[in-house]
Amino acid sequence: MQISGSTVLLTGATGGLGHAIARSLGARGAKLILTGRRGEVLEPLAAELGARALSVDLSARPELQRLIDTVGDIDILIANAALPASGTLDTFSVEEIDRALDVNVRAPIMLAHALAPGMLARGRGALVFISSLSGKTATPGTALYNASKFALRGFASALRADMREGGVGVSAVFPGFIRDAGMFADAGVKLPPGVGTRAPEDVAKAVVTAIEHNRGEIDVAPLALRASTTFAGMAPELAARIARKLGSDDITRQMHAGQREKR
């Protein structure tokens, strides 16, 4: 899929990862439609990139429908918006659970449902879903977040198979710990020594690669973290015990404390 000249809808553009993705696609000649909840952050970014800005709260179903009705034909969807949803399940209200699932799972699915038919009719397009390594391996204290990111991976994988003959690429990108932006940086989490990170620009590069080369899945993490994720998929109980010894519970506590007000 060629990015230059394509109309791109990017959700979650007001966060640090969204900024990096938007700038990377803008530099490649994309015609950008940027969405986010914080208009005071969204508008300057849109002005910088010559993009269209639409302030939308994806947890509000009428606003999501308004977005779908407004954007018109889209060549590339990048579903980047997400809520952290960290903390044990008993700390969530029903409303907070609904909000997390609406933003992290329902909104990407509904956007794909609305936009994919037009892509198929034109015989070209790309759907990119920003998941997380938390969509491949579970960690304590993040059951709801894990659930949403596992769901996004399954949805993207099955949708890719459905779209295989239609000229529409479907990809999922799995960031690990990202420095300087994103939920870990926003929460002020201090990682144990030796835990590697990647930059927001690395996530943006993965998005570009996914679009241009129709890659099904791309991990954005150092080799050791990717290897540990693979190991956790094969031996989850043993991997969980090792992770606890290496400080996963402390990371979870920091995440919960730093993100409690972002539900």
Active site residue 92: no
**Of these residues, 145, 155, 174, 177, which one is catalytic?**
145
Q: What angle, rounded to 10 degrees, do the helices at 107-122 and 61-71 form?
A: 20
Q: What is the dihedral of CA 263, 126, 134, 21, to 10 degrees?
A: -70
Q: Could you tell me the sign of the dihedral formed by the alpha carbons of 118, 165, 130, 6, in that order?
A: negative
Rounded CA-CA distance 112/225 in Å is 30
* Half-sphere exposure of residue 50: CA atoms within 13 angstroms, side-chain side: 8
Cβ atoms 221, 196 nearer than 8 A: yes
The C-alpha angle 193, 188, 186, rounded to 5 degrees, equals 125
Please give the positions annotated as active site.
Answer: 145
